Amino acid sequence: MNERNIFIVRCGEVALKGLNKPYFERMLVERIKRVLKKYDGIEVKRHEGLIYVRAEKNLDPDEITGVISKVFGVASISPALEAESNLDAIGETAVSMMLDLIEKKGIKTFKVEAKRADKNFPVKSPEIGRIIGAKILIGCKVLKVDVHNPDCLLHVDLRHDVSYVYEQKISGFGGLPLGTNGRGMVLLSGGIDSPVAAWMMAKRGMMIEAVHFHSYPYTSERAQEKVEELAGIVSSYCGRFKMHVINLLPVQEKIVENCPEEETTILVRRFMMRIAEKIAEKRDCMMLITGENLGQVASQTAEALVVTDACVKMPVMRPLIAMDKVDIMEKAKEIGTFETSILPYEDCCTVFLPKHPATKPKLERILESESRLDVEALVAAAVESAEVINISPEL
Ligand code: ATP
Ligand code: MG
């Protein structure tokens, strides 16, 4: 029975979805199938509220677990062994798992916790636990039972057709399966915040696409490679996506030539939003996503955010708005973007940075400054010049 590795996948919030639950579960199964497509002989099935992944023995279970754990909607995963639903078969499987754990982790004590989903099974859960425990003691002479603080808590899940034995429960990120919540266009910089913002929206089921602005030759090619690398990490969670890369320098030069210096930052930000919105419309995205965070810098004061928002019709999602920077940094470390984000390359926002940026911009003043520019033509030219890069986790 143990010729394949089994992974029991528990759904998080998906399980709470009421009448829509079958749809969310189906989407989750689809996502899991998709990320495991690169491996041969994988089987993914839904059964009694859980998802079971079966993989060939030659595949590394840790690698498979790692891949599944990045799928949004997964609450936890347990690599398991399968046994026929009788106590002798379960006992044998439990002993083989324990022998493995003795060798790999040097465990000395254990406890068995049994659960009987099949209520017609003639033996009750605590008794199943005791019987399997006794079989383990006979099969693994070095082990002792410790009900309070065991090195290994072995779970036996006795079900009608087939039973499962497992030890670990590895956490996923929860959230909702990708593709269940529309599409958003993230403004992706090379910083710490925007990759986290993209990840957070994708975690709620939103497919993402990205726009990145540079100011070449003021910003280097290496700075752009850094952003591509970051996008690649984000795509290991949210699948392949397109990144629209735009040189913002022509817009910045016009602003610097024609508008007051202290307004440069906010004006540049409004152009970024407008350009991103145009591309989002073309690409069927319904929202913009930024890594903005209240009060973090001059362009993110409440007043500046209001003035930024006023130039677009599309809703702007700012999932980090009320987070503290330390918490954003923690999240970036957890999802694996932090080390790349802190590489010291210049960003287009730091080019032409005013000495004293306006922290409380007034919309009327900003509109007046913009009246000196051909906003529509500048936006259209920028959109026209976009270079599209296909981002995938392998980058
Ligand atoms: P981040 O860490 O994401 O770079 P930040 O704290 O540096 O954010 P800003 O530079 O003011 O903040 O940018 C605020 C938001 O604007 C970013 O989170 C991102 O969504 C967007 N943004 C900034 N620079 C760029 C860029 N070069 N290309 C695309 N979007 C950008
Ligand atoms: Mg930035």
Q: What is the pLDDT of residues 283-336, one digit of tens each?
A: 999 999 999 999 888 889 999 999 999 999 999 999 999 999 999 999 999 999
Q: Which of 349, 350, 351 to mutate to test the pocket of ligand 1 (most atoms within 8 A of CB)?
A: 349
Question: Is the C-alpha dihedral spanning 306, 308, 311, 316 positive or negative?
Answer: negative
> Domains of the chain by range and CATH?
4-171 (3.30.2130.30), 183-391 (3.40.50.620)
Note the pLDDT tens digit of each residue in 108-125.
Answer: 999 999 999 888 999 999
344 confidence band (pLDDT: 50, 70, 90): confident
Query: Which residue would you say has higher pLDDT here, 350 or 142?
Result: 142
Question: Cα(348) to centroid of ligand 2, in Å?
Answer: 8
Taking phi over 0 as left and psi of -120 to 50 as alpha, with beta for the rest, 211 belongs to beta
Indicate if ligand 1 lies below 6 Å from the C-beta of 301. no
Q: Give the whole-angstrom CA distance, residue 343 versus residue 320.
A: 21
Does 189 sit in the ligand 1 pocket, CB within 6 Å?
Answer: yes
Closest CA to ligand 1's atom 25: 189
Calpha distance 35→390 (Å, rounded):
17
Give me the chain's average pLDDT, please: 94
Query: 190-227, pLDDT tens digit by residue?
Result: 999 999 999 999 999 999 999 999 999 988 889 999 99
Give the ligand 1 atom nearest the CA of 291.
18
- Inter-axis angle of helices 264-282 and 375-384, to 10 degrees? 50
Residue 63 tokens, joined: 């690698």
How far apart are the CA of 230 and the centre of ligand 1, in A? 13
Return the residue whose CA atom lies nearest to atom 26 of ligand 1: 189
pTM (whole model) above 0.85: yes
Instruction: Kindly state if the Cβ of 156 falls inside 6 Å of ligand 1.
Output: no
Highest mean pLDDT among 37-41, 69-73, 160-164 belongs to 69-73
CB 186 within 8 A of CB 111: no
Instruction: Supply the residue whose CA is at minimum distance from atom 17 of ligand 1.
Output: 291
Query: Rounded to the nearest whole angstrom, what is the distance from the C-alpha of residue 318 to the centroid of ligand 1?
Result: 11
Amino acid at residue number 96: S
